[in-house]
A and B are shown apart, each in its own frame.
With several copies, the nearest count.
Chain A
Amino acid sequence: MKKLINEPDDVVREELEGIAAAHGDAVRVSLDPAYIARADAPVAGKVGIVSGGGSGHEPMHGGFVGRGMLDAACPGEVFTSPTPDQMLEATKAVNGGEGVLHIVKNYTGDVLNFEMAADLAKDEGIEVEAVVIDDDVAVQDSLYTAGRRGVGTTVLAEKICGAAAEDKRSLHEVADLCRRVNGAGRSMGMALTSCTVPSAGEPTFELGDDEMEIGIGIHGEPGRERMPLEPAARVVERLAGPVVDDLDLSEGDEVLAFVNGMGGTPLIELYIVYNELRKLLDGRGVRIARNLIGPYITSLEMAGCSITLLKLDDELTRLWDAPVVTPGLRWGA
């Protein structure tokens, strides 16, 4: 295992110390229970937004805490959902009297822990709504399974709902908006390499030198299919094709195109992927009105990428463009 770390067990705590030292002007970091909150939380009269999940996806979620996005984020151990007490403390810390939205990625652990936290918060008199993001088209959806995973759309939902909360919309409105974003966003990812969970010390899966894994999640879970390496143009077809189909995109639609790096893939490759994506969408008459390119929802040092498309309308576009001031995403201020 080659990582710039000290002890595997200390990875998350030391990362949080680093974030506290680097961004102490903008965020407040609690180490136990672990959460990151806006320095000015709670913002009175504003719905609070809390997300969280396993660590190893940086900058998501901790890097998205700040004005116009999250009020707090709860980091679990690497790839392990955080616990209810973290979520409860974060929820209490950001409750400005208008209730708190939990944005939850659809993994059994995340869902169960956030459920317990919401129950505890309600016991303390805080109004909580939870929205589960499940946008990964690599996974067959069904009532009898755990359903689709939550991946790239989470980042977009956090940004857009954050803007709506700044506009002082009600908890119910922000939660509705979040469900709408979840309905309009779809993703699919792929890996060129596995990643190594620090405490495991070994790659989660092994890939041959000429193989790639299509339909991966963000936890080093193996994907749906393993196949020989292909040129970027073909990879983009494999990822964007199912996304376009699932969203039923047609001529004249406008989208936000999000090309995400998995952590070990450099920007130069992501721009090549983006170039192929825009050609594919051009060919279908779909217009990219906004884009986001970079490593925003990662899987440790995994090489690979994911593509997320969000069908836009005027409201979503306006909320996307609104100012955001976080360590991981920033514009307009």
Chain B
Amino acid sequence: MREADPGGHVGVSVESASAWVRAWADAIATNKQALTKLDSAIGDGDHGTNMDRGMKAAVDKLAGSAAADVGTVFKTVGMALVSKVGGAGGPLYGSLFMQMGSAAGGESELSPEGFATAFEAGVNGVVARGKAARGDKTMLDALLPAAEALKEAVGQGTSWPDALRRAEEAAREGMEATIPLVARKGRASYLGERSAGHQDPGATSSHLLVECATETLAKGSS
């Protein structure tokens, strides 16, 4: 059973959703070189730059808009990513946020269940767009386990911060598990066996996304 919430509410507001987005933008900026380096090893060395350009645009767009509901926050971010990132990352992360936004709908605040459902919808959006599966050595190797862990933890009544922490752990494991894999999707697949031994850049940026959730979405809860 979920613990009582002394702070009054548990969940994801327009403010905390925006804070999450900003935190991810910061994390991407901080890790820009590292992401690009990972992408240089098995891709084309632009993942950090691309995501940084896109997330800076997303944060700007968000600041300029007065989103009244969580769905609008996510859709704004998704559209910014689609129109500013390009590459594989743009449409994929764009789909993640746009589908999350659709699932979130017009709510001004999402419950933990609501967020877990929206996040799952977003991840399914990535699957639908990119047609990759778990084990293909992509961002989905971090996103799918995170979505599942979050849903399960919330379903089991785990406290909201703990549920987010479990999602982060799942994302981290999934990210690290990409290291030995031979890529089957994305640019790394061109390398065949040579793609093994390197961590997937998209899984790494996805882990950052979930990690930022533990720091921002749990705010205001015990």
Contact = CB atoms under 8 A, between A and B. Distances in A.
A83 B190 CA distance: 23
Interface residues of B, number: 33
A302 to B, nearest CB: 12
Given A77-B46, A199-B46, A83 B191 contact: no
B99 to A, nearest CB: 13
Contact of B45 (A84, A136, A200): A200
Interface in A194-208: 197, 199-200, 202, 204-205
Given A79-B45, A199-B49, A200-B40, A109 B191 contact: no
Interface stretch (A141-149, A158-166, A227-235, A308-316): A141-149
A77 B189 contact: no
Interface residues on A, range: 35 or more
A83 B191 CA distance: 25
Contacts of B86: 54, 76-77, 80-83, 109, 113
A282 interface: no
Instruction: Specify which of A109, A136, A199 lies most central, judged by the most chain B CB atoms within 10 Å of its CB.
Output: A109
Contacts of A224: 190-192, 194
A84 B85 CA distance: 10
A144 B131 CA distance: 10
A325 interface: no
Contacts of B186: 108, 146
Interface in A107-134: 107-109, 112-113, 115-116
Nearest to B129: A112
Nearest to A53: B86
B44 interface: yes
A38 interface: no
Contacts of A149: 190
A72 B114 CA distance: 44
B29 interface: no
Contacts of B194: 222, 224
Contacts of A222: 41-42, 191, 194
A217 B82 contact: no
Contacts of B82: 83-85, 116
Contacts of A108: 88, 130, 185-187
Given A83-B84, A83-B86, A140-B192, A77 B187 contact: no
> Across chains A and B, which 6 residue pairs bring their CB atoms closest together, nearest first?
A219-B44, A109-B87, A112-B91, A109-B88, A108-B88, A199-B49
Interface of B: 36, 40-46, 49-50, 53, 82-92, 129-130, 184-187, 189-192, 194
24 contacts: A33-B83, A54-B44, A79-B46, A80-B44, A81-B86, A81-B87, A83-B82, A85-B82, A109-B87, A109-B88, A113-B90, A116-B91, A136-B190, A139-B189, A144-B184, A145-B184, A146-B187, A146-B189, A197-B49, A200-B36, A204-B45, A220-B44, A221-B42, A224-B190
Given A116-B82, A149-B190, 10 more contacts: A54-B86, A76-B87, A78-B46, A81-B87, A112-B91, A115-B91, A200-B40, A221-B190, A222-B194, A224-B194
